[in-house]
Amino acid sequence: MPDMATTDSSLRPSASRAVKAVVLDLLDTYGEFDPVAGRFEPHRPSTEDKLRVCKENGIKIGVIAEFPADMPHDRGVEILRQGILSQATANAAPVTVGDYIDARFFTSNHSSSADKRQRKIYLDAAKALGVDPSDCRFDGLDDNDVTAAEAAGLCAQQPLDAQRAGVVRILNRSRNDSGRQFQAFFEHEHLLGERIFGIGDAICAGIHRLVDGRTPKQIPARWQSPPRIEASGEAGRLRRAMSYFVFLLNNFANQVHLVAEEQMFELAVGAGMPRSQVKWVFDQHDQARAYWAGITIAWRRICEGDADDQWYAHIDFMKNTEAFIFLFRDHAVRENNSTYTLAGKHFNDMDDMQALKLGERFLPPDMSLYVGIVQNAETLLGISA
Binding residues (CB under 5 A) for Fe ion: these are 261, 335
Phi (first) and psi of residue 257, to 5 degrees: -105, -55
Work out the burial of residue 141: count CB atoms within 10 Å of its CB; fewer than 13 is exposed, 13-18 middle, 19 or more buried.
Answer: middle
Please identify, using beta-carbon distances, which residue of 41 and 261 lies nearer to Fe ion: 261
Please identify, using beta-carbon distances, which residue of 261 and 352 lies nearer to Fe ion: 261
**Whether the Cβ atoms of residue 135 and residue 20 lie closer than 8 Å to each other:** yes
Tell me how far, at minimum, the Cβ of 42 lies from Fe ion, in Å: 20
Please identify, using beta-carbon distances, which residue of 143 and 283 lies nearer to Fe ion: 283
Please identify, using beta-carbon distances, which residue of 80 and 325 lies nearer to Fe ion: 325
Tell me how far, at minimum, the Cβ of 328 lies from Fe ion, in Å: 8
Instruction: Give CB contacts under 8 A, 24+ apart, made by 53-57.
Output: 53/8, 53/11, 54/11, 54/22, 54/100, 55/100, 57/11
Please identify, using beta-carbon distances, which residue of 59 and 268 lies nearer to Fe ion: 268
Q: Reduce the secondary structure of 150-196 to three states and give it as a string.
A: HHCCCEECCCHHHHHHHHHHHHHCCCCCCCCHHHHHHHHHHHHHHHH
Please identify, using beta-carbon distances, which residue of 138 and 265 lies nearer to Fe ion: 265
Please identify, using beta-carbon distances, which residue of 25 and 177 lies nearer to Fe ion: 177
Tell me how far, at minimum, the Cβ of 373 lies from Fe ion, in Å: 19
Tell me how far, at minimum, the Cβ of 33 lies from Fe ion, in Å: 24
Please identify, using beta-carbon distances, which residue of 335 and 351 lies nearer to Fe ion: 335
Strand order in the sheet with 136-139: 106-108, 60-65, 21-24, 136-139, 155-156
**Whether the Cβ atoms of residue 292 and residue 250 lie closer than 8 Å to each other:** yes
Would you call the peptide bond into 45 cis, given omega within 30 degrees of 0 as the criterion?
yes
Of all helices (H) and strands (E), which one includes residue 69? none
d(CA 64, CA 154): 13
Contacts of 152 (CB under 8 A, 6+ apart): 119, 120, 122, 123, 126, 133
Of all helices (H) and strands (E), which one includes residue 138? strand 136-139
What's the alpha-carbon Rg for the chain, to the nearest Å? 25
Please identify, using beta-carbon distances, which residue of 19 and 258 lies nearer to Fe ion: 258
Tell me how far, at minimum, the Cβ of 178 lies from Fe ion, in Å: 14
User: How do beta strands 84-87 and 94-96 pair?
Assistant: antiparallel
Phi (first) and psi of residue 108, to 5 degrees: -120, 170
Tell me how far, at minimum, the Cβ of 173 lies from Fe ion, in Å: 18
Tell me how far, at minimum, the Cβ of 182 lies from Fe ion, in Å: 12
Tell me how far, at minimum, the Cβ of 332 lies from Fe ion, in Å: 5
Quick one: CA dihedral 96, 102, 104, 108, positive or negative? Answer: negative
Tell me how far, at minimum, the Cβ of 351 lies from Fe ion, in Å: 19
Please identify, using beta-carbon distances, which residue of 33 and 370 lies nearer to Fe ion: 370
Instruction: Give CB contacts under 8 A, 24+ apart, made by 214-222.
Output: 216/311
Tell me how far, at minimum, the Cβ of 335 lies from Fe ion, in Å: 5
Contacts of 173 (CB under 8 A, 6+ apart): 188
